[in-house]
Amino acid sequence: DGGITQSPKYLFRKEGQNVTLSCEQNLNHDAMYWYRQDPGQGLRLIYYSQIVNDFQKGDIAEGYSVSREKKESFPLTVTSAQKNPTAFYLCASSFPGQGGNQPQHFGDGTRLSIL
Amino acid sequence: EDQVTQSPEALRLQEGESSSLNCSYTVSGLRGLFWYRQDPGKGPEFLFTLYSAGEEKEKERLKATLTKKESFLHITAPKPEDSATYLCAVGATGKLIFGQGTTLQVKP
């Protein structure tokens, strides 16, 4: 079955440590996205990529980095510069659209906590 | 500024008690309106896309409608398994803007 796989499901970060969240999709989607979800808040866009080797900052990119070397993969690194990283991180993918007219499909998330 | 507001924040229903969830939006040039269901600890599950005012989509006990300023998700005779958070998002300027969601609890 096609879908989006995020790993790990739970992740713990020590102070000053960078951690990388994995996102893999086999839906043949060109576009991929990373969101952060905090209690009581909507999903906030961190980074997105419409095509391999290209990506753009979203609304809250500070303290995060991404790469898009393969169509199927879009890993997110939470750096030590992100001072409040505790959140639920969601990866999504979609077919390319005209300004957001395509639905995005989501993985089951990674919950990141501070040790 | 593009904005999406969902109401109510939380809704409790008895099994079989029909109701509606609201999603109001302000966006310059709506590209699409999307409804998702999210269970605790899971990612959002895509339900519907609506593209133009007057459009309606149905799936089991759920029916989504769209006007020029808002969308409704009607739930007919809900069951306990319909309990979840329902998210609305609008497509604008190359990305989706999400509302904060409505958490629905259906009691048997």
- Tokens 């690194």, located at residue: A77
CB contact under 8 A, B29 and A99: yes
CB contact under 8 A, A90 and B87: no
Q: Are strands B70-75 and B19-26 parallel, antiparallel or unpaired?
A: antiparallel
Q: What angle do CA A99, B86, A62 make, to 5 degrees?
A: 55
Q: Could you tell me the pLDDT band of residue A98, with boundaries at 50, 70 and 90?
A: low
CA–CA gap between residue B17 and residue B75 (Å, rounded): 9
Query: Which residue type sits at B28?
Result: S
* pLDDT at A99 (0 to 100): 60
Chain B residue with the nearest C-alpha to that of A38: B100
Neighbours of A90 (CB within 10 A): 26
Least confident of A24-38, B8-22, B88-102: B88-102
CA–CA gap between residue B21 and residue B29 (Å, rounded): 23
Please report, rounded to a whole number, the percentage of residues in chain B having pLDDT higher than 70. Answer: 100
Q: Could you tell me the pLDDT band of residue A39, with boundaries at 50, 70 and 90?
A: confident
Hey, which residues does A74 pair with through a beta bridge?
none
pLDDT digits (tens, 9 = 90+) for B46-60: 999 999 999 999 999
Alpha-carbon Rg for chain A in angstroms: 13
Residue A97 has pLDDT above 80, yes or no: no
Which residues in chain B belong to E strands, given as ranges?
Answer: 3-7, 10-14, 19-26, 32-38, 45-50, 56-59, 62-66, 70-75, 84-92, 95-98, 102-107
Give the B-side interface with A, CB within 8 Å. Answer: 4, 29, 31-32, 34, 36, 41-46, 49, 51, 87, 89-96, 98-101
